[in-house]
Amino acid sequence: MDISETLIYGVGLLAQILFSARILMQWIASERAGKVLSPASFWTASMLASVLLMAYGALRNDIVIIGGQFISYFIYMRNIKLKNMWEQIAAPIRWAAVIFPFVAAAWLMWSETYSFSYIMEHSKISGALIAWGGLGQLVFTLRFVYQWYHSERAQESILPNGFWIISLIGSLMIISYAVLRMDPILFLGQIFGVVAYSRNFYLGVREQTAQQQSSTN
């Protein structure tokens, strides 16, 4: 592995470490509280990790990775606003955060070296595999659309039980894509998530059961 490949995998690994760290922080906070929480650190770490993972996807010419992050990135941003933390960030950083995904997408689509058409024509990934990976990323992204919907209804950042079910389905699909793609970064990043998603789902069910029992007493 040459220096450029080491750098690329390093960016991807750092992104996955941050994604795993956000889940670990959320998991620890939830275990201490005995219920599923949505800490602000979860969303700030998500945004940072998303920036790195989009950069990794661009460097690997992987449209699936970039596309999978685009929508969820702005949902991370919205949750930070719901946590009343957005205005505490310096204005130049806020503007850079808003603009970044569009700049990345423009670079991907119109760059002479790594344009969208170049990636599709020279990709080493089969069309069927791209479709499967894209479907996995779509499911994984929909979990945040689901979370966003419920948070807007509650007017606070929450992580409902359905979020964890969708996370498990999407994660298992991406793991299979990573195996076929021979991408150790994606694989390692998702394995830890499966455990955390399962545990959070259990905590959520336990909390709902306790609430139902208390309401009937």
Which tens digit of pLDDT belongs to each residue from 188-217? 778 888 888 999 999 988 888 888 777 776
Q: Count Cβ atoms within 10 A of the Cβ of residue 117 and give its class: 0-12 exposed, 13-18 middle, 19 or more buried.
A: exposed
CB 157 within 8 A of CB 82: yes
Say which residue, 25 or 117, is predicted with more confidence. 25
Q: Is 182 left (phi over 0), alpha (psi -120 to 50) or beta?
A: left
Say whether 123 sits in a helix, a strand or coil. coil
The angle that helices 91-110 and 63-82 make with each other, rounded to 10 degrees, is 160
User: Within the chain, what is the greatest distance between any pair of CA atoms?
Assistant: 67
Tell me, what's the pLDDT at 153?
93
Which residues does 59 contact at the CB level (< 8 Å), separation at least 6?
8, 11
> Is it the case that residue 6 has pLDDT exceeding 90?
no
Q: Is the pTM of this model over 0.85?
A: no
CA–chain centroid gap for 72, Å, is 6
More confident site: 146 or 103: 146
Give the tens place of pLDDT for each residue, 128-151: 777 888 788 888 889 999 999 999
Q: What is the pLDDT of residue 160?
A: 92
Angle formed at CA 152 by CA 139 and CA 137, multiple of 5 degrees: 15
Residues 40-51: tens digit of each pLDDT: 899 999 999 998
